[in-house]
Chains A and B, each alone.
Chain A
Amino acid sequence: MSTSAVPAPAVRDARSRTRHSRARGFTGFGFVTPFLVFYVLFLLLPLVLAVVFSLFNTSLALPGLGRWEGLHNYGELFRDSYFWSSMWHTVLFTLVSTPVLVVVSFLLALGVYRRRHGQWFFRLAFFLPYILPSAVVALVWLWIFEPGYGLADGALHLVGLGAPSWLGSTSIALYSIVLVTVWWTVGFNFILFLAGLQEIPQEVYEAAEMDGASRSTQVRRITLPMLGRTVTLVTVLQIIASLKIFDQVYLMTQGGPNFSTRVALEYIYDTGFTSGRVGYASAASLVLFVVIAIIGFAWLALVRRQERGV
């Protein structure tokens, strides 16, 4: 082959490649632009505004930014016992509901994944609540918890037990909300675990059974380790979702009784919209955002390490 034949097409390709990549580049960014417009206007801009508002005494009732506060809002926030107790309620809610939601959904998936018939029935039963709007869930459960006439009291009455004040007792109300949340959202984790369990090949179990491993040993030695990533994913998603809880609390107890169920977002709503202190509420929501972001990044690091280990 003559040496001249090689460089010529190469040069030609290089030139057309540059033209192409320039063209590609333009179209490439252009493709992303529609999304970016929405993203900037409705995700980034509000975030920036939140930071700005947090430095002023912005009010819902009055126009403009209000008086300059600097870091004063944050200072007040750190001294605000109502804010910290709302953070505590959020943390408590997360600590209680996360293990329950992870374990219960795992057990449910465990009980269902090997079935040959009727899986659709269980999928329906456990996942249906997840697609219901929070308002529907709240209305139904408010009625279930209705003192005297509700299903909860009725069920306890059947077994001869006295009924607690589900949403009226300062010590119980938060756990009633946990109960509602478990019913409502367990389906999501259930599906994740179901898929994860069904990915484990049957042969692994059969081999273990041939070796004489009992059912529980199989679960411990095979299922759990292979589901490691799913468990981590479910747990972290659950934690983050729990930290952002608002709907059920607002609709069912509004933070009561006596603020015992007031969670962080409910406090932010109260401060920003009921008391009209937009600047202060922005500071509080940014603090919450930072907490969630830290957990999110910690998880990313964990996953990256897990994947590298695998």
Chain B
Amino acid sequence: MTEQLTRRRFLTVAAGGATMLAASGCGATYDVAGGFLGPASGANNHTLIYWNLLSGGDGAHMQSMEAAFRKANPKVALDATVLEWGNPYYTKLAMAIRAGSPPDVAIMHLSRLPGFVPAGLLDPYDPHLLAAHGMHPSDFTPLAFRKAQFGGRQMAIPLDTHPFVQYFNTKLCRKAGLLDSSGMLRPITSPDALLTVLRKLKAQKVTPAVCDQINDPATPWRLFYTLYSQAGGKVLADSGKRIVLDRSLSLKVLGFIEQLAKEGLMNSNNDAGGGVSLFSDGTAALYWEGEWNVDVFQAAKLPFSMQPFPTIMGRKASQADSHTFVMPKQPHADPERTEMIYSLIRSLLGQSLTWAGGGHIPAWLPVRHSAAYRKLKPESNYESVADSAVYDPSAWYSGSGSNLENYAGGAIAGVMTGAASPAAAYDEMHSALVSLSTQPDPV
């Protein structure tokens, strides 16, 4: 009877198991033993594990770049995984490193390095190896390359700079008389000038500007931080231990944002998807966001162009970040694998023109300064921003998709939707910063 019982139990589960195995069988080379013995054992030395958070339009470009690498390197099995953008990605990456089996190479935002480097979670690059693979410091956007250095060691290799920019619908703007002879918007150099432009567009019965506020704290943060930095403001000091957020400057910027929302010059009830829709179907004339949506609008055959966000508050500054390649700290050194990593990075950098098609400014100067890139319109319109980019304040709790962006962005979004006053938003931002900066530093 025990036999009957065991048999029955096994049959049910085996039936399920057989179905699954049959379904999954083909092509899945699987290492069940490795599952029991641990990842270090029997590791396939020719598999390169590469993590990134590039979903969406630019993700497609990265995948074709990966395909090109695979074609040129048939002996290397490149295992690329796309994970969700933001905190989930970085949490997973940190945990994987702590768990002792991280990916071989990963994409990391430049602004996130302070949360990883001090804890020793990343391996530095070897300048000799870099040179041997054809990568020299002079080949990269200086600002990004320098920011990836900690204690004299190169901790990340920048792939691009992706700033906050202004998309504009050329048809609608021409009708409002805002374009110059070359088809670019005439320069807007002060808050009043921007208000004038927006009011002119509003008179044309179009939505003047769109900048996401709902369920998207990053974009409001980018808008605020761009204007605030143009006015010369700083947010943090001492690697995030001191808050230097200036109250009157913040209120000035937030007040301007409030005015845009109140006067109906900026849409106040859309999320990221809604923002894309509003601009791509021609409802909105201006769209303020990172440059990575260029593919979507080109596919929609929209008459549009792009340019740096107008400098209206003083100096040239645009909030930006950079995707970089980092090498998570490995439990055992493996020179063969390291060679493959450098090869992969060099290969992807060499395909920066493809990458630029997704909207990002290549950090690889041979491409960035090339004629082919300059011909890439509208992507090359804002190329100069790479040198005046303002990265998120440096702190372990800061960076793209971090708690700082989430808390501060949430507060700023309140002003954009009309749910909060500038003073209330400032207080919320400030107390969030206090809370974040006084937490014991886990790195």
A and B touch in the complex (CB under 8 A): yes
What chain A residues lie within 8 Å of B214 (beta carbons)? 165, 168-169, 257
B443:A273 contact, CB within 8 angstroms: no
Nearest-CB residue, chain B, relative to A59: B442
A274:B413 contact, CB within 8 angstroms: no
Given contacts A60-B98, A273-B91, are A167 and B442 in contact (CB under 8 A)?
A: no
Q: How far is the CB of B80 from chain A (nearest CB, A)?
A: 21
Instruction: Choose among B121, B271, B397, B413 the residue that contacts A61 (Cβ–Cβ < 8 A).
Output: B121
Q: Give residues 138-194 of A contacting B (CB, 8 Å).
A: 146-148, 165, 167-169
Let me know if A217 is at the binding interface, CB within 8 A: no
- Chain B: residues with Cβ within 8 Å of the partner, total of 29
B439:A277 contact, CB within 8 angstroms: yes
Chain A 256-276: CB-based contact to B (< 8 A → 1; otherwise 0) = 111100000000001001111
Q: How far is the CB of B304 from chain A (nearest CB, A)?
A: 21
Q: Give residues 74-130 of B contacting A (CB, 8 Å).
A: 86-88, 90-91, 94-95, 98, 119, 121
What chain A residues lie within 8 Å of B215 (beta carbons)? 165, 167-168, 256-257
Instruction: Choose among A61, A67, A254 the residue that contacts B94 (Cβ–Cβ < 8 A).
Output: A61
A165:B271 contact, CB within 8 angstroms: yes
CA distance A273 to B99 in the complex (A): 12
A258:B271 contact, CB within 8 angstroms: no
A258:B413 contact, CB within 8 angstroms: yes
Chain B 239-281: CB-based contact to A (< 8 A → 1; otherwise 0) = 0000000000000000000000000000001010110010000
Chain A 275-297: CB-based contact to B (< 8 A → 1; otherwise 0) = 11100100000000000000000
Let me know if A82 is at the binding interface, CB within 8 A: yes
Nearest-CB residue, chain A, relative to B120: A61
Nearest-CB residue, chain B, relative to A167: B215
Instruction: Choose among A57, A254, A270 the residue that contacts B440 (Cβ–Cβ < 8 A).
Output: A57
Let me know if A8 is at the binding interface, CB within 8 A: no
B87:A254 contact, CB within 8 angstroms: yes
Let me know if B410 is at the binding interface, CB within 8 A: yes
A254:B403 contact, CB within 8 angstroms: no
Q: Give residues 239-255 of A contacting B (CB, 8 Å).
A: 254
What chain A residues lie within 8 Å of B440 (beta carbons)? 57, 59, 67, 277, 280
Let me know if A10 is at the binding interface, CB within 8 A: no
Let me know if A62 is at the binding interface, CB within 8 A: yes
Let me know if B138 is at the binding interface, CB within 8 A: no
Q: How far is the CB of B296 from chain A (nearest CB, A)?
A: 14
CA distance A80 to B90 in the complex (A): 24
B271:A168 contact, CB within 8 angstroms: yes
Given contacts A61-B119, A275-B397, are A147 and B442 in contact (CB under 8 A)?
A: no
A147:B273 contact, CB within 8 angstroms: yes
Chain B 393-414: CB-based contact to A (< 8 A → 1; otherwise 0) = 0000100000100100010011
Q: How far is the CB of B326 from chain A (nearest CB, A)?
A: 15
A147:B435 contact, CB within 8 angstroms: no
B88:A254 contact, CB within 8 angstroms: yes
Nearest-CB residue, chain A, relative to B88: A254
Chain B 432-443: CB-based contact to A (< 8 A → 1; otherwise 0) = 000100011011
Let me know if B217 is at the binding interface, CB within 8 A: yes
A276:B94 contact, CB within 8 angstroms: yes
A82:B91 contact, CB within 8 angstroms: no
What chain A residues lie within 8 Å of B442 (beta carbons)? 59-62, 275-277
CA distance A232 to B236 in the complex (A): 53
Given contacts A168-B215, A254-B87, A258-B410, are A273 and B439 in contact (CB under 8 A)?
A: no
What chain B residues lie within 8 Å of A59 (beta carbons)? 440, 442-443
What chain A residues lie within 8 Å of B88 (beta carbons)? 254
B435:A82 contact, CB within 8 angstroms: yes
Instruction: Choose among B87, B217, B271 the residue that contacts A274 (Cβ–Cβ < 8 A).
Output: B87
Q: How far is the CB of B330 from chain A (nearest CB, A)?
A: 16
Instruction: Choose among A147, A169, A275, A276 the residue that contacts B274 (Cβ–Cβ < 8 A).
Output: A147
CA distance A101 to B121 in the complex (A): 45
Q: How far is the CB of A165 from chain B (nearest CB, A)?
A: 6
CA distance A276 to B403 in the complex (A): 13
Nearest-CB residue, chain A, relative to B432: A82
Nearest-CB residue, chain A, relative to B91: A274
CA distance A147 to B276 in the complex (A): 12
A-B contact pairs, 21 of them (CB 8 A): A59-B443, A60-B94, A60-B442, A61-B94, A61-B119, A62-B442, A146-B273, A147-B271, A148-B277, A256-B215, A256-B217, A257-B214, A258-B410, A259-B406, A270-B87, A270-B403, A275-B403, A276-B94, A277-B439, A277-B440, A280-B439
Q: Apart from A57-B440, A277-B442, what 8 extra A-B contacts exist at CB < 8 Å? A: A59-B443, A62-B119, A168-B214, A254-B86, A254-B87, A258-B217, A258-B414, A274-B87
* Nearest 5 Cβ contacts at the A-B interface: A276-B442, A168-B215, A258-B410, A61-B119, A59-B442
